[in-house]
Amino acid sequence: MSDLLSPGRKKAKLDRLAELSAAHDDERGVSLWQEAFRRLRRNPAAIVGTVILGVFLLIALVGPFLVPYDPAAQLWKDEIREAQAFYPGPRAENWFGVDHLGRDEFSRMIVGARQTLLVGVVATLIGLTVGTLIGGLAGAAAGLGGRWGRWVDTVLMRIVDMLLALPSLLLAISIAALLGASLTTVMIAVGMVSVPIFARLLRGSMLAQSNSDYVLAATSLGVRRSKVALTHILPNSLAPVIVQSTLTLATAIIEVAALSFLGLGNPDASIPEWGVMLADAQRYLDAAPRLAILPALGIIITALGFTLLGEAMREALDPKLRK
């Protein structure tokens, strides 16, 4: 039958069979993470978020070594006239102008990016670590069953429920006020706010994975349920937690700025941080609104980058959206 086909049709048919075979091989050999990475590369939101975060990381890592002036030096204090509400704006020597103390605003924005990134990342790591420990222990205990397993799961989840019952910002303010104003306090306060989110998410993911076929197969082969929970269920339940950590970074940066705005951030004014800069600029909104607009834009754009990348990762790792 194939001999009766024209050479052109025969070549097209062979090409089509080759494409189908390659697609079948790709589908059979591609893992969830490889497929997710492939879909991320084709997602415009992921590309935009990655570019924003790449620029932000580059500024935070390299920028402090390239700033033209010391961010704490009041080099243009004599040019400021408080009585006339005059604060020099953008010009050749000061691209973003100077602040109310005569400090270069551009240098402070660049150095403040590192401080904001440090606080946001450390706060997220604190919440991720504590939340993963609580959620993993609760999920493993619930999967093991028995009286002790149910008791451990119930106690841990009731603690998490009490944390969730409090508004996140109110909880962060309470912790920061209790520990005193400092950079470490802000990290701990913001990190503890995200603990119940990670704990609930990991526990739910582990309970969903405990009904999978590979868990049943491992249990049928005589593997202890504790080993199944730690070596099989837990690693396969971390994908949504990783995605949530990206989204939490955006929230952490905003909450850090809120605590700094309320005066609970770093008391050392010589170290610039976007939230502190935004709080200091409130008294000069009429005379120099750029002092508030610049750090606000930095916070908004950075949070947008983390949000776009996190949402794209959530869609890429969703099994329901896989072809």
Determine the pLDDT at residue 15: 54
pLDDT surpassing 70 at residue 211: yes
Under the banding of pLDDT at 50, 70 and 90, the label for residue 27 is: very low
What mean pLDDT is predicted for residues 194-217? 84
pLDDT surpassing 80 at residue 131: yes
Residue with tokens 């949504």: 240
Give per-residue pLDDT as tens, 259-273.
877 777 777 767 788
CB atoms within 10 A of CB 160: 21
Give per-residue pLDDT as tens, 30-63.
566 677 778 778 888 888 988 998 998 898 888 8
Backbone phi, psi, residue 193, to 5°: -65, -35
DSSP-H helix ranges across the chain: 7-29, 32-41, 44-62, 105-144, 146-165, 168-179, 183-209, 213-220, 225-228, 234-236, 239-261, 274-280, 290-316
What mean pLDDT is predicted for residues 220-249? 79
Determine the pLDDT at residue 8: 55
Determine the pLDDT at residue 321: 55
| Average pLDDT, rounded, for the chain | 80
Give per-residue pLDDT as tens, 70-101.
888 888 888 888 766 778 888 888 889 888 88
CB atoms within 10 A of CB 64: 16
Of the two residues 306 and 267, the one the predictor is more confident about is 306
How is residue 172 written in tokens? 């962060």
pLDDT surpassing 50 at residue 2: no
